[in-house]
Amino acid sequence: MSGYHVAIVGATGLVGRTILQVLQERDFPIKKLTLLASSRSAGSTVEFKGESYSVQEATPASFKGVDFAFFSAGGGVSEKLAPAAAQSGAVVIDNSSAFRLDPEVPLVVPEVNPEDAKKHKGIIANPNCSTIQMVVALNPLHQAAGLKRVVVSTYQAVSGAGHRAIQGLENESRAVLEGREPEKNTIPHRGAARYHQIAFNVVPQIDVFDEDDYCKEEMKMIKETRKIMNLPELAITATTVRVPVSFGHSESVNVELNNPLPPSKAKEILKKSAGIVVVDNPSQLEYPMPVMSKGKDEVFVGRIRVDRSVPHGLNLWVVADNIRKGAATNSVQIAELLA
């Protein structure tokens, strides 16, 4: 049987399970599958192509003979085990933020910088979900007219915080609708000093706070975009916000270009670009929305308009399924570049 020995670390999590689904959908050539997780989840079983797999505890010895190791068990696990997996000869594709800004580690979005994948030294980082969908939309515009400045505000789904947060949003919503005080225990992030209501509310914090009073998600969007697009000096600022949506991140992206690019031309370019579906028909009230992105691999772009407040300005509205293109699908696409 030809194909690769694939391991998934964090196989019982939301992203891990979706990686399995995407591997199956895209018919990635697998000859052996090793499912790994923390000791807490070890022993549970997961289905793949009709077969039942037992999940084993991930240890440094788990990666013997593995060709591709997908990691989605958090930064701590990646730091501990990814180097061991790479040393065993596996190509690690890491969903955590542990190695993303490491100059030795390529940070790859296949539509933007596929060539960087080949430069890996055993570990390739998968970018942050909100970064991936934005750079897919920005790159064709940059190629056409040169990016000068980006101002982005996000509308992010709770699934970015895992299974627990989806359940949390549902539980809180039921409580509010029934006139009960909602029990808050998922947002802004696991282990936070305090929790905020997310049902019928909006929370302007994702991940912990970092330098300049930016939250870490905002700094990820800034720094990862610069690295992926190979624009180390790109002028970019971000405000990242959690909204009561289960799946699908939305982004209001304001772009200043170096050269003229009328909206009609921008639309034409985006329509022809890999991984993008343009949904932009105001007269029919058609534009991207999270509900339409669920389960899809494409990045949806609409509300493409001139911004007259600046020379060569454009506004875009960018939506994608944060668990698929924002995590699982992008990871599998990276593996496909090397398979």
Catalytic positions are 129, 249
User: Minimal CA–CA distance to 34: which of 110, 79, 88, 76?
Assistant: 88
At closest approach, how far in Å is the CB of 285 from a copy of itself? 5
- Give 336: exposed, middle or buried? Use CB within 10 Å, 0-12, 13-18, 19+: middle
**Residue nearer to a copy of itself on the CB measure, 146 or 313:** 313
Q: Could you say whether residue 200 binds a copy of itself (CB under 8 A)?
A: yes
Q: Could you say whether residue 239 binds a copy of itself (CB under 8 A)?
A: yes
Q: Could you say whether residue 40 binds a copy of itself (CB under 8 A)?
A: no
**What gap in Å lies between CA 55 and CA 127, rounded to an integer?**
26
Q: Could you say whether residue 132 binds a copy of itself (CB under 8 A)?
A: no
**What gap in Å lies between CA 231 and CA 272, rounded to an integer?**
23
Q: Could you say whether residue 162 binds a copy of itself (CB under 8 A)?
A: no
**What gap in Å lies between CA 126 and CA 109, rounded to an integer?**
7
Of the residues 66, 243, 257, 261, which one makes contact with a copy of itself according to CB under 8 A? 243
At closest approach, how far in Å is the CB of 122 from a copy of itself? 34
Q: Which run of H or of E encompasses 23?
A: helix 14-25
Query: Which SS3 state, helix, strand or coil, does residue 36 take?
Result: strand
Alpha helices, DSSP H, located in 88-128 = 114-117
In sequence order, what are the beta bridge partners of 153?
A: 239, 252
**Residue nearer to a copy of itself on the CB measure, 58 or 257:** 257
**Residue nearer to a copy of itself on the CB measure, 35 or 319:** 319
Pick out residues in 244-273 that bind a copy of itself (CB under 8 A). Answer: 244-246, 250, 252, 254, 263
Using CB under 8 A as the criterion, what x/- string covers residues 281-320 for binding a copy of itself? -xxxx-xxxxx----------xxxxxxxxx--x-x-x---
At closest approach, how far in Å is the CB of 299 from a copy of itself? 15
Of the residues 214, 216, 261, 330, which one makes contact with a copy of itself according to CB under 8 A? 214
Q: Residue 201 has which token pair?
A: 């509310």
Q: Could you say whether residue 115 binds a copy of itself (CB under 8 A)?
A: no
At closest approach, how far in Å is the CB of 229 from a copy of itself? 14
Q: Could you say whether residue 241 binds a copy of itself (CB under 8 A)?
A: yes
**What gap in Å lies between CA 214 and CA 205, rounded to an integer?**
9
Q: Which run of H or of E encompasses 227?
A: helix 216-228
- Give 284: exposed, middle or buried? Use CB within 10 Å, 0-12, 13-18, 19+: exposed
**Residue nearer to a copy of itself on the CB measure, 250 or 273:** 250
Of the residues 112, 221, 236, 332, which one makes contact with a copy of itself according to CB under 8 A? 236
- Give the interface size with a copy of itself as a residue count (CB under 8 A): 61
At closest approach, how far in Å is the CB of 30 from a copy of itself? 33
At closest approach, how far in Å is the CB of 322 from a copy of itself? 13
At closest approach, how far in Å is the CB of 34 from a copy of itself? 35
Pick out residues in 174-193 that bind a copy of itself (CB under 8 A). Answer: 174, 177, 188, 192-193
**What gap in Å lies between CA 215 and CA 253, rounded to an integer?**
18
Q: Is the peptide bond before 188 cis (omega within 30 degrees of 0)?
A: yes
Starting at the edge strand that comes first in sequence, how are the strands of the sheet with 91-94 ordered?
56-57, 30-37, 4-9, 68-71, 91-94, 123-125
**What gap in Å lies between CA 2 and CA 48, rounded to an integer?**
17
Q: Which residues bind a copy of itself (CB under 8 A)?
A: 149-151, 153, 155, 169-170, 173-174, 177, 188, 192-194, 196-197, 200-205, 209, 212-215, 235-237, 239, 241, 243-246, 250, 252, 254, 263, 282-285, 287-291, 302-310, 313, 315, 317
